[in-house]
Structures are given as structure tokens and as C-alpha cells.
């Protein structure tokens, strides 16, 4: 039970926070924001209305995460597949929404000591959006509280391809291919997320049980929390509920439960 509650949490958030163990908060939370289209459809509104409402959910989630001292929050805003497979009008709307969000939010991000980063093939986005992204990154680069990473035009498989290319490139500039040594640390150092610890918790909204090409390497040992809540209805309170669920789980990293004795290898799986 927590006696000290961070300032800024509302009454319901405070209630959930009081039952959390502040020494065991996840260091990095990743979120697959899903269900904007369904949220809009249920209200007989166009899909883009769901995206617009999704910005309020982003704001609430980011602020609550920063207030309780989460070190890193990564939001899957836009996959490479979204970019290539959705109608141009929806993609254009999302680009404008992102641009506006960045412009409007920098002041609040600075107030909450949040540093903005991106993962994904940024160079494929419209140039004006890239410029706005760079501006927002620069304007928050001095902050040292939470790192908010937006995954934009992101695909985990493309990230791995880029990492392998980058490793080969580094080796060829550093003595040639015969010096190429690859282990897990080398791969991790060439991923887009090299500046972040692996997520401890991944949240997916709208009840879907998929990773959808998100952080496939980094989520190897993450706890998965799926909530039926559609993204536009998600708030800081739901994030705290996800963290409460995370704290009930026992993380084993392929080992045994606390106090459990080793059984023959064939009797146990490593998962």
C-alpha cells in the first residue's frame, strides 16, 4: 500500500495507485493503441473521429505515466502496414493529427519533463511532418524524466532488417567483414530502441491478442496485458489497472518460480 501518492492523479487513479508497489513499477511500457475505427463505428461516426478522440487518450496516458515515474513509454501510433494499406484520406488525416499534436503538446511535455523520441522509417513520411517531428524532438531533448517514444511508420521486421544492414555497414567501415561479431548485445545496439531498456509490459487495447509486428525482439520477456477498452476510451486509470495486473504476475525469464526445485529438463518448458 502506498502512502505517498504523486501529485496530479485524480481520485480513481489514486485509489488504484495506493495498491501498487512503487518499487516494482515497469521501467518501460509499450502500448498498441487499437480500436479507434470501432469506437467511431459504434457512434456512427467516420473512422477519423476515432483517431481524433484517440489523442485525448494519448494525453491522459502520457501524463499519468510521467506522474507516477515510468521511465519510458512507447506508443504504436502508426505501423508501416497502416501507412501502405489504408486509404490516402485516412493516412493524410493521421499525418495532420500528428503534426497538430506535436505542435500543441511540446509545452505540456516540457512541463512534465518528457523527452520525445521516434522509432520507424521516419524518412518515408511527408517532409513537413518529418520537420515537425525534428522540431518537437529538439524542443524536448533537454528533459530527463520520461522518454516518450512514438512508433511511426514502424515495423519490427523492417527494424531487424535495418539492424542487420547497420551491423554489416559498421563492420565494413571498421576493419572489414572478418571482424563482424554478432551476439544479442550487438543486435540490441543496432535496433531503433538502442536508447531504451526492453519493455516490461505491453498493453493492447480493444481485445485483440496479437503483437502486430511491434517490437518483436524487445518484447521477448514482456508481460502482455490485453484490455477490451477501445483506445479512445483508454485513460491513465486503465494504465494503472494494467500495472496492477502486471504486479500480480511472477516473471521468470525462462527460469523457475521462486522456491521451486529443478525438475528434469524434459518435464518443463522454458516459457
Return residues touching ligand FPP (CB under 6 A): 33-38, 51, 54-55, 58, 75, 77-78, 82, 97-98, 101, 150, 231
Q: What is the C-alpha R_g of the chain?
A: 20
Active site residue 213: no
Query: Is residue 201 left, alpha or beta, with left meaning phi > 0 and alpha meaning psi from -120 to 50?
Result: beta
Nearer to ligand FPP among residue 78 and residue 246 (C-beta): 78
Active site residue 34: yes
Nearer to ligand FPP among residue 151 and residue 219 (C-beta): 151
Nearer to ligand FPP among residue 17 and residue 120 (C-beta): 120
Which residue in the block uniquely carries the three cell numbers 488504484?
16
DSSP string, 112-172: TTPEEEEES-GGGS-HHHHHHHHHHHHHHTT--S-EEEEEEEE-HHHHHHHHHHHHHHHHH
Nearer to ligand FPP among residue 35 and residue 236 (C-beta): 35
Least distance to ligand FPP from the beta carbon of 235, Å?
13
DSSP-assigned letter for residue 219: T
User: Which position among 36, 82, 143, 153 bears the catalytic label?
Assistant: 82
Could you give the CA distance from residue 55 to residue 30 in angstroms, rounded to a whole number?
Answer: 17
User: Which position among 34, 112, 143, 153 bears the catalytic label?
Assistant: 34
Least distance to ligand FPP from the beta carbon of 77, Å?
4
Least distance to ligand FPP from the beta carbon of 141, Å?
18
Please state whether beta strands 147-154 and 28-32 pair in parallel, antiparallel, or not at all (unpaired): unpaired
- Which element (helix H / strand E) includes 95? helix 88-111
Residue closest to ligand FPP, measured at CB: 37
Q: Which residues are catalytic?
A: 34, 82
Amino acid at each position: 500500500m502506498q502512502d505517498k501518492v504523486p501529485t496530479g492523479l485524480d481520485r480513481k487513479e489514486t485509489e488504484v495507485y495506493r495498491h501498487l508497489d512503487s518499487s516494482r513499477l515497469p521501467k518501460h511500457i509499450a502500448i498498441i493503441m487499437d480500436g479507434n475505427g470501432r469506437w467511431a463505428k459504434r457512434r456512427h461516426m467516420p473512422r477519423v473521429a476515432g483517431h481524433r478522440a484517440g489523442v485525448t487518450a494519448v494525453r491522459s496516458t502520457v501524463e499519468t505515466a510521467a506522474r507516477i515515474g515510468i521511465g519510458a513509454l512507447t506508443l504504436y501510433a502508426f505501423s508501416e502496414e497502416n501507412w501502405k494499406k489504408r486509404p490516402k484520406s485516412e493516412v493524410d488525416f493521421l499525418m495532420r493529427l500528428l503534426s497538430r499534436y506535436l505542435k500543441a503538446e511540446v509545452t505540456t511535455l516540457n512541463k512534465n519533463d518528457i523527452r520525445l523520441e521516434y522509432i520507424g522509417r521516419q524518412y518515408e513520411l511527408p517532409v513537413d511532418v518529418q520537420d515537425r517531428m525534428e522540431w518537437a524532438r529538439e524542443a524536448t531533448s533537454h528533459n530527463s524524466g520520461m522518454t516518450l517514444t512514438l512508433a511511426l511508420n514502424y515495423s519490427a521486421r523492417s527494424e531487424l532488417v535495418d539492424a542487420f544492414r547497420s551491423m554489416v555497414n559498421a563492420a565494413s567501415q571498421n576493419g572489414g567483414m572478418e571482424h563482424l561479431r554478432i551476439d544479442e548485445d550487438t543486435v540490441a545496439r543496432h535496433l531503433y530502441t538502442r536508447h531504451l531498456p526492453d519493455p516490461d509490459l505491453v498493453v493492447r487495447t480493444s481485445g485483440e491478442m496479437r503483437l502486430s509486428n511491434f517490437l518483436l525482439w524487445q518484447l521477448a520477456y514482456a508481460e502482455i496485458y490485453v484490455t477490451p477498452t477501445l483506445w479512445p476510451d483508454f485513460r491513465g486509470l486503465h494504465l494503472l489497472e494494467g500495472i496492477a495486473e502486471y504486479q500480480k504476475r511472477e516473471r521468470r525469464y525462462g527460469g523457475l518460480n521462486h522456491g521451486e526445485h529443478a525438475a528434469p529438463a524434459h518435464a518443463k518448458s522454458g516459457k
